[in-house]
Structure 1
Amino acid sequence: MKLSIFTIAAFFALSMGVCAQDQETDSLEGQKVVLDEVFVSAIRVTKESPVTFSNLTKEDIKPRNLGQDIPVLMNFLPSVVTTTDAGAGIGYTGIRVRGSDASRVNVTINGIPYNDAESQGTFWVNMPDFASSTESLQLQRGVGTSTNGAGAFGASLNVLTDGFSEDAYGQISTSIGSFNTLRNNLKFSTGLLNDQVEFSGRLSKINSDGYIDRAESDLDSYFLQGAYKDDNTLIKALLFGGHEITYQAWYGVDSQTLTDDRTFNPSGIYTDIDGNTQFYDNEVDNYKQDHAQLLWNEKISDFWSTNIALHYTRGRGFFEQYKEADDFSTYGFEPIIVDGEEVNTTDVIRRRWLDNDFYGTVFSANYRKEKLDLIMGGGFNKYEGDHFGEVIWARYASNSSYQDRYYDDSSSKTDFNVYTKANYHLNDQWSVYGDLQYRTVGYKANGEDTGIVDDTFNFFNPKAGVTFDLNANNNFYLSYAVANREPNRNDYESGNPKPEKLNDFELGWRYVSTDVQFNTNMYYMSYKDQLVLTGELNDVGAPLRENIGDSYRLGLEIDANIRFSDKFSIRPNVALSTNKNVDFFIVRDDVLQDLGNTTIAFSPSLVAGNILNYTPYEALNLSLFSKYVGEQYLSNTDTEASKLDSYFTTDFNVTYEIKMDKILKSIVISGLVNNMLNEKYVSNGYTYLDSWSTPGNTFEVQGYYPQAGTNFLIGATLNF
């Protein structure tokens, strides 16, 4: 869908800003920190920091939380673009911020790294319904403040899980919707026992057929927590995780199929012995992930407090594939004679396994007195992973044996960082911010895709800024930050990748009053050796990247929360940007071509959103969500063939609460209509250069991920 600049201007004039998603407040002092937030205080920022950020609270998330993944629930934050393989927000979902994909968005849960250590991606499908155990989240755009885990090259997202509850409660939720979607969960808390101890938990089950053919999801998850508190101590022990079985939907469709049969899924397709087209019924991704966290905050004095956390994550699973007429050599099979003829290909069903452990510690100490807020912290984490493949059936098995592995690779990664950051108030108006981080990473791998890898990276990441409080309602900030980042596992498939470096400049203004919150900022992100998406995928559906030398992103972001009355408010946002590769070269038909300055792939120049919220009376809330994503390229070549059209979607959300005065405290009815105008849009895709079929004549081949038209979810929550 194409919109003129006048349409966009009208949209923004009606909306007037971006969705800050902050709690209502009338000055820049903001809200008081709740007790559980001490676990993320070392990596979160406030309006007194020269960092660009947005907050989402449990109350913001709750009305739309009917089973979709966290990235989808974040879709209306500034500069955010989301996508989903199955087309309806359940299953594999992805997020891009300022054009940077999920592998470049640093994610922590209670301050503990969540990005996969090797791919650097975040797989929310491994923790379905995690939004139901989220107290709040903060998205820092740009480099942000020093945190744990991989460097933030587009944004950092830190999630705080459920806080402890002083009162006992029980909650049963269910939701149903399009594509046979069914979500059930159960939550409980004992409340504080003896004013010190609380136990709480959640069990969830989600099933959905998906919009795309056979893109079913069968998802289970759990969350268990024990908490202890006294005047100076808060300790929390958490166990959470999930098990996902999703039918693969990562291949997309070509342009003709997109027109003729947009829900077609080529995954699992094969021809049986009678020549009939079939689809293998177990072409699935099957993965379990369990997390254990021990968090301890200690208030040592009126000025000093400390945090330490120990964590362990266990992941194991596989994806299963039917492969037709595959070469014996792939599996180490010897040719055999069948009916007098040599056979060296076979149909097989194979499983490609990942079995890994991730463990370590993060820590911080905070000194806060009068003008100085000082934080010292860091972390040490280690990843150990096994990658191996098994053939579980073959039409011709040759010399194979039970549980043979046709490849057996291993990898390990260590990640150590220390940082010191301080915010010092020079006077009532001026404050200065400094942040120094040293990070060292060691990565070893041996695999057919990576080759032999034994790399060590040492990074120094300084950050500095200044904040000026004009008065109680206005402040301005200017910051400069450096980030360095190591390649991920898939980057080694393309050769010998370099680490990348980012210099990030942010200039912003915030206005806060009782009824208006307004944020605007300009940014300039200058990259050296940026690893950008090429538009290609590898054989497991993971996007490939390559170093491109110099590139930059220049943008303006505006967001607001405007309350016209107790009943009506709007939360609009707009992000304008230009995203360029400088002097981009490409090899086409064995000729090196200089394409000049080209647009960075998957980087729309305009992203806008808005939330219109109307509460006619206390029990009823109506919200209209709008999202516009401008056209974007699938590759870095600026060709028309690789362009995704712009799109505009509108969702409608309603909640109604029925108060009770007995054992059942309330019933909350929720409804969500997604894409209510039935926009036929594509949110993601891929492209690659093909010269195999026509040697000497290279052309681009595209694949697309269509998203669902109008669809709905409706749910009910019983609160005890």
Structure 2
Amino acid sequence: MKTMKNWLLTGLLFMIVSTAFSQGKITGTITDGVGSLPGANVVIKGSTTATSTDFDGKFTLNATTGSGEIVISYLGYQNQTVKFSVSNGATTNLGNIVLIANSNELSEIVVKSSVVDIAKDRKTPVAVSTIRAAEIQEKLGSQEFPEILKSTPSVYASKAGGGYGDSRIAIRGFDQKNIAVMINGVPINDMENSAVFWSNWAGISDVTSAMQVQRGLGASKLAISSVGGTINIVTKSSDVKEGGSISSSFGNDNYLKAQASYSTGLMKNGLSASVLFSRTEGNGYVDGTKFEGYNYFVALGYKINDKHSLEFTFTGAPQWHDQRSTSPLLSDFLKYGSDGKTPNIKYNSDWGYKNGEEYNLKTNYYHKPVMSLNWDYDINETTKLSTVAYASWGRGGGTTTNGGIKGNNAYSTNNSLRNADGLINFDLIQNWNSGKPTTLGTRTQTNGQYQNSSASGSATVTNTGITEIASVNSHNWYGAVINLDKKLTENLTLDFGVEGRMYKGIHFQNLIDLFGATNYRDATNVNSVPNPAYFSTTYAPRPSGNPFVSTDYQERINYWNDSEVNYYGAFTQLEYAKGNFTAFLQGAVSQQGYKRIDHFKYLTTDPLAETDFKNITGGDVKVGVNYNINEQHNVFFNTGYYSKQPFFNAVFPNNSSIINDNVVNEKVKAAEIGYGFRSKIFNATLNAYYTQWNDRFTQGTDPDAANNQGGYYTFSGVNETHTGVELEVNARVLEKLKLNGMLSIGDYKYDGNATSNRFDASNNPFPGGVAQTLYLDGVKVGNNAQTTMAIGAAYEILRGLNVDYNLNYSEKLFGNISPVNFLSATNKGSLELPGFATSDAGISYKFLFGKEKSNALNFRFNVNNLFDKTFINESFTNIFADDVKTPAAGGNPAITYAQAGALYRGIATGNKVYFGYGRTFNFTLRYEF
């Protein structure tokens, strides 16, 4: 009996050891039925054993169990579960596994944190489009990051002035100040004015895993003001498949980019790391817009156990770029063209040559590193806690000038400070500033010195000069988001969370270049002893490589004020899902506090030197339902209401510390209905929307220079209504041919008339001022194309060799308006610009090599605006062809622009505009291992 027990124990131990140490391999290939899907995630269900497919869609997993299931996920495709069984020491090949396309879905496995609100196809009732990393990597090339969205319904992307990172985007007629931009669930819109500066995120395309655009109210649980929509950017995580890449790109105008990245993958100890570094430089398509930018990304992960995981990320993109931020007159584009009739679309009035080298008065320089720590805690099968804490330290600003020479500033295009080619004559400015003889005469000294200041003088004053200065806008920003996700029942899920942000903005000016002058005289600091003070220290307009550099070392001139914004919010969402029906109810409330500190304008003993916090409450409520009629058809509806807190300058108008007691929240009401169709070869989404935006706050400086006394105007009761329909389709009509297209038709206009009120520097009604009606009712909203269309095709010529083509068309694009130009009920409305179409094309080839073909060389060539079309994409003025160009004088009648022949494609040449880029190209070679 004892011997039998020993045999049984020995046999049992052998079985246990054999089971514990048995290993088999599972292999297979993941495709979409046409081509391979590199980078698909493959994980053994219930374990941490995972891998990613290689560049040919193949994978290998080492299994420690004889049977089980693998779960396959890939961005834009439905998750698939496949059973396996494998013998000890053997290999089981699962063959080709085909994933079903789900063009608008991001996998829940890829997005691990419940802080990130990703819409799911046929479930989340919002209008959404998703762009995967592969498409961004392939088609973006040397374009700006927002431009990858230009084939998305109701999106209008513009190069703006054309400087590196200066592009802008609008969704459904709302600019990016009213679009929530999120990176891994963290809002990045500026805390003071909600602006997004893409130059601060110039390297984000390098680390993006996927980008999703939720048009309209969106699916975010946070109390964010996504009036036009939400852009969700999901970056790469640390636990992607082990490997790396090295790439190099070059393009027109000496564009050059180099990039290297490496990821360890998830290691046995639960640690993972991913790093990336890149450098970009070029001369810029627009004249005088050189740039240099860097991008770094570090992600460190630690899977502590099955319940806890941590992810630390640190990323930044220090850059400087010369700009074209002064919009030239259309007549200047023509004047400096080759024949006076063809515009020189590269013309830039902000630069020239200084000592024989290119020099620009407008340079943006910034470094905005962001650090975050994510903690995901799977409390149990029904409860998950996700937390992210983050910090950002922005450092930098933008240059400009002040002062003048005999009343002329550096920006006017029709004065003696320019050469015959329209460029700024820096040699003349330097000679004048330093007292050397010039064609304008010779400058006189003040107190034995050549002192510059903000004064521009007059035609007879000879002691003023021009100075280049920088407006510094730095900040310290700290925040956290906590979300608890609880599955109450099989059908009900409750989310509850809190959010907090603390922001301090530091604003001042400093000296960049005295252009030969002795010093700079400044009398704006009432606390300065002596006053006025004199400065001669200059600073290079370049970002610091130190992400934590202080701004305290810099001397300040002209103004210095700090803004503090504290934001606290709570949010909740109840989601119901049963069968083919899903619904959600979401609500959020927030309090935003505003505080202003002024170090120059008020004595330190003055209560206005540091204000108390002005706290304003806001919030939102949203509800939506989706019903899947069958496997092909679904319908959805959502509606909501926002009470949106105003921007900082609405609380403290006119750059003063006097609180605006009349400030009110902006109100946004929206509703949307949609229909979706899905099949193996054709997908389509059709939706219609309505958005009403009331009580917008806008202000302007007092145009009456003789009496303004520091006064300003506010325009109250400015309301807008945005409606439209959107259609998005994609199809696989042949095995190797894919088609996509979209159509969006919008109607964005002002709703009702508004009122203009005039105030003095103390925020009191201007003595004798009378409120005036602004006849805005029905006027079109400017600077957004209200009708956009796109069609594209991609074809696989040979295995690994692909070509693609996209055509985009925009029309119903109106110029910006100034409300004070609408004092008459018989105004002409908004200026409509000519519609335009552009074509983009590309060809790519992937060559596999190495052991098991696990390495690849990728070649990509892009051409944007293939047919070199010339088009105006922005107008900052609203001058019509029948407006007066030359007033009546001496018995001669007034002459309109049309009568004078001063038109370009029907547009008056007195308008200030920007042209889009002509033909550009780029080529990328990438080695992946």
Category of TM-score, reference length = shorter chain = 0.7 to 0.9
Structure 2 SS opposite 1:44:
coil
Instruction: Note the alpha carbon deviations across 1:271-317, whole angstroms, 9 max, x for none.
Output: x9xxx999744641111111110011111111111100110001111
Alignment correspondent of 1:580: 749
2:570 maps to 418
**Pairing 1:221–2:295 present:** yes
Partner of residue 292, structure 1: 371
Checking the alignment, whether the CA contact within 8 Å between 2:324 and 2:362 is kept in structure 1 is: no
Counterpart of 2:349?
Answer: 266
Q: Does 1:382 align with 2:502?
A: yes
Q: How does 1:385-534 map to 2 (within 5 A)?
A: 385-394=505-514, 395=517, 397=519, 398=521, 399-401=533-535, 402=537, 403-425=555-577, 427-446=578-597, 455-489=614-648, 498-531=664-697
CA distance 1:484–1:179, shift in 2 (3 Å): farther
Q: Does the CA-based 8 Å contact 2:638-2:671 persist in structure 1?
A: yes
CA RMSD of aligned residues (A): 3.7
User: Who is 2:836 aligned against?
Assistant: 647
Matches within 5 A, 1:618-633: 618-633=799-814
Conserved 8 A contact 2:259-2:278: yes
Return the offset for 1:234.
2.4
Does residue 140 of structure 2 align to residue 46 of structure 1?
no
The one-letter code sitting in structure 1 at the alignment partner of 2:836 is Y
Residue in 1 that maps onto 2:232: 158
- Which of 108, 113, 130 lines up with 1:55 in the alignment? 130
Q: The residue matched to 1:204 in structure 2 has which SS?
A: strand
Work out whether residues 619 and 643 of structure 2, in 8 Å CA contact, stay in contact via their aligned partners in 1: yes
Change (3 A) 1:655 1:278: closer
Structure 2 match to 1:555: 724
| Pairing 1:527-546 to 2, within 5 Å after superposition | 527-531=693-697
Q: 1:400 to 1:247 in 2, by over 3 A?
A: same
Q: Distance in 2 between matches of 1:547 and 1:120?
A: 20
Structure 1 CA distance, aligned partners of 2:633 and 2:224? 33
Distance in 2 (CA, whole Å) between partners of 1:545 and 1:559 is 40
Q: Which residue of 2 aligns with 1:541?
A: none
Counterparts of residues 229-240 of structure 1 (less than 5 Å): 229=303, 230-240=305-315
TM-score of the superposed pair, with normalisation by structure 2: 0.68
Q: Cα deviations across residues 55-75 of structure 1 (Å, max 9, x unaligned)?
A: 111122221142433201222
Check whether the contact 1:65–1:132 (CA below 8 A) recurs between aligned residues: no
CA distance in 1 between counterparts of 2:152 and 2:700 reads: 26
**Number of residue pairs matched by the alignment:** 682
How far the C-alpha of 1:129 sits from its partner, in A, is 2.5
Q: How far apart are the structure 2 equivalents of 1:153 and 1:374?
A: 25
Structure 1 partner of 2:863: 673
Give the Cα–Cα distance (whole angstroms) in 2 for the partners of residues 300 and 240 of structure 1: 30
Residue 198 of structure 2 aligns with an amino acid whose one-letter code is W
Q: 2:104–2:129: 8 Å Cα contact kept in structure 1?
A: no
- 1:171 aligned partner: 245
Deviation at 1:582, TM superposition (A): 1.8
Structure 1 stretch displaced more, 201-210 or 368-377: 368-377
Q: Aligned-pair distance for 1:175?
A: 0.6
Match of 1:5 in 2: none
Query: What residue is the counterpart of 1:713 in the other structure?
Result: 922
Provide closer, same or farther for how the CA distance between residues 449 and 522 of structure 1 changes in structure 2, counting only shifts above 3 A.
farther
Q: Give the structure 2 partner of residue 17 of structure 1.
A: none
Is the Cα–Cα contact under 8 Å of residues 507 and 561 in structure 2 kept in the other structure?
yes
C-alpha deviation, 1:379, in angstroms: 0.8
Letter paired with 1:515: I
Maintained 8 Å contact 2:288/2:359: no
Contact 1:620–1:655 (CA under 8 A) maintained in structure 2: yes
Provide the secondary structure at the position in 2 that maps to 1:266: coil
Flag structure 2 segments of 5+ consecutive residues without an equivalent: 1-74, 79-98, 338-343, 410-444, 451-459, 522-532, 538-554, 603-607, 704-712, 758-768, 889-893, 898-907
SS in 1 for 2:794: strand
Residues in 2 aligned to 1:37 and 1:546: alpha-carbon distance in whole angstroms: 43
Once the two structures are superposed, residues 47-103 of structure 1 have per-residue CA deviations (whole angstroms, 9 ceiling, x without a partner) of 312211111111222211424332012221111111124538x43111111111111
The aligned residue for residue 397 of structure 2 is 318
Where does structure 1 lack aligned partners over 5 or more consecutive residues?
Answer: 1-20, 538-543
Measured against aligned partners, the alpha-carbon deviations of 1:489-545 in whole angstroms (never above 9, x if no partner) come to: 4556569554311111010111112122111111011121135799999xxxxxx99
| CA contact 1:42–1:375 (8 Å) conserved in 2 | no
Paired amino acid for 1:81: Y
- Sequence identity, in percent? 20
Does 303-312 or 682-691 show the bigger shift?
A: 682-691
Q: Is contact 2:691-2:723 (8 Å) kept? A: yes
The match for 1:617 among 788, 798, 818 is 798
Distance 2:201 2:688 in 1: 34
Distance 1:257 1:640, change over 3 A: farther
1:253: which partner in 2?
A: 328
In structure 2, what is the equivalent of residue 122 of structure 1? 196
Structure 1 residue aligned with 2:736: 567
Aligned to 2:177, what secondary structure does the other structure show?
helix
Residue equivalent to 1:635: 816
Is the Cα–Cα contact under 8 Å of residues 114 and 485 in structure 2 kept in the other structure? Answer: no
Change over 3 Å in CA distance of 1:507–1:377 after alignment to 2: same
CA spacing shift, 1:131–1:250, aligned 2, 3 Å: same
Q: TM-score, structure 1 length as denominator?
A: 0.86
Cα 1:29–1:315 shift into 2, 3 Å: closer
- Does the C-alpha gap of structure 1 residues 265 and 31 become closer, same or farther in structure 2, counting only changes over 3 Å? closer
State the distance in 2 between where 1:645 and 1:30 align. 33
Contact kept in structure 2, 1:152 and 1:483, CA below 8 Å = no
Task: Tell me by how many angstroms 1:136 deviates.
Answer: 1.1
Identify which of structures 1 and 2 has the higher relative contact order when contacts are C-alpha pairs closer than 8 Å and 6+ apart: 1
Residue pair 2:350, 2:360 contacting (<8 A) in 1 also: no
- Residue pair 2:142, 2:251 contacting (<8 A) in 1 also: no
Q: CA deviation at 1:242?
A: 1.1
Match of 1:70 in 2: 145
Amino acid at match of 2:153: P
Deviation at 1:483, TM superposition (A): 1.8
Letter in 2 for 1:360: G
Tell me the residue number matched to 2:474. Answer: 355
Structure 1 pair 104/581, CA: closer, same or farther in 2 (3 Å)? same
Letter in 2 for 1:386: I
From the superposition, tell whether residues 358 and 186 of structure 1 become closer, same or farther in structure 2 (CA, over 3 Å).
same
- Looking at structure 1, the residues matched to 665 and 215 of structure 2 have their Cα atoms a distance apart, in angstroms, of 21
Kindly state the Cα deviation for residue 380 of structure 1 after the two structures are TM-superposed.
0.2
Tell me which amino acid in the other structure corresponds to 1:576. I
Distance (Å, rounded) in 2 between the aligned partners of 1:185 and 1:473: 42
Alpha-carbon deviations, 1:438-492, whole Å to 9, x = none? 1111122356999998532211311112222211221111111112323334556
* Equivalent in the alignment of 1:201: 275
Q: Structure 1 residues 363, 536: CA separation in 2 closer, same or farther (over 3 Å shift)?
A: farther
Contact 2:125 2:636 in 1 (8 A): yes
Contact kept in structure 1, 2:746 and 2:786, CA below 8 Å: yes
Please tell me whether the aligned partners of residues 485 and 496 of structure 2 are also in contact (alpha carbons under 8 angstroms). Answer: yes
Residues 63-102 of structure 1 aligned to structure 2 (within 5 Å): 63-85=138-160, 87=162, 90-102=164-176
Residue of structure 2 in register with 1:371 after alignment: 491
